[in-house]
Every structure is written in structure tokens, then in C-alpha cells.
Amino acid sequence: MRFYEEVLGFVPIKRPSSFKFNFNGAWLYNYGIGIHLIENPLIDDFDTIIEPRPINPKDNHISFQCRDVEIVEGRLEDMGMKYVTAVVEDEGNTVDQVFFHDPDGYMIELCNCENIPILPLSACLFKPRMSSFSRAVFGPAKCGLVENAMMESLSMDMLDISF
């Protein structure tokens, strides 16, 4: 839990007592995101020491935004954690990335991705609509409302991780 608090800036919150949890865990929250950490009692201490896979930015990971990747790197160094950095350039915009594993081996990316404009993928394909005769009828999918809702949601809920 300390990792999520000190490196990612999450804050522990109360777990709902109405759920009557019969397992150990913690709930953390910040930046409009909740993280639920669950302890698996079937894994002994030896299993948790296993070295995670090599850090590969093209492997499965979850990404969070931050304003200053160098601060994150400093925190990781202070904790003795391994990490890999990368730089993405797109149409004159530069994004700095840092990749690392959390204590459970999950890969995390922190980046200053706000440097790249957020543009929805609005190229909706023609999708089949089934008629009452079970014959596929092709017509355009209407994406405008979905696209507007998505952009409004993104602008309201953009992660603003600042250290």
C-alpha cells in the first residue's frame, strides 16, 4: 500500500462495512480513480518475491498521467525500484514515459501524455443492423452523441496527477 501512496499519490479510504469482507485488502482513491488492493491468503511470502518480467513498454500495462516524469523517476530511485524510460514524439509534441512494476508485478506507466491532444476515434464503421427478417441491413452508426459525451467526460475527468 505504501507504494501506491508514496509513488502514485493515492490515499487510503474506508472500505464499506456493509460488504462484510472476509479477506484482507485496502481501497485507495485519488485523481477520480479508485484502486482496490486484495490480499490472496493462498500466496505465501516466498511467492511474492518472484522477480517480475523484464520491463517492456510494449507489454500489458496501465497508464496514469503526471506533470513531471522526472519527479517520478526520483521517487522510484529513492525506493530502489527498477524502471525504463521512453520518449514518444507525435506531430511536434513530445511525451516522456516511465515504466515500472508495482510490488505485485503489474506494470505501470506514468507519462506527461497531456502534451498530446486528446482526439476521439470518431471514424465509426458501418455496422450491421438486424431486421425483423434476420437479414443484415447495413447503415451508418451514429457516433456524434457518443463522441460528444466522451469528450465531455474526458475533459471533466482528466487525470491531473501532480507531485
CA–centroid distance for 67 within its chain: 15
Task: Kindly state the cell numbers that stand for 80.
Answer: 530502489
Residues 6+ apart with CB under 8 A from 45: none
148 and 99 part of one domain: no
This prediction's pTM: 0.64
Domain range holding 3?
Answer: 1-45
Number of domains in the chain: 3
- Which H/E stretch holds residue 77? helix 69-78
Catalytic residues: 109
Residues 6+ apart with CB under 8 A from 111: 63, 64, 65, 66, 69, 88, 95, 96, 97, 98
131 and 83 part of one domain: no
What string of pLDDT tens digits covers the 163 residues of the chain? Answer: 888 998 888 999 998 876 677 778 889 998 888 888 887 777 665 455 456 688 988 888 999 888 899 999 999 999 899 999 999 998 889 999 999 998 888 899 999 988 888 777 765 554 444 444 444 444 444 444 445 555 555 444 444 444 3
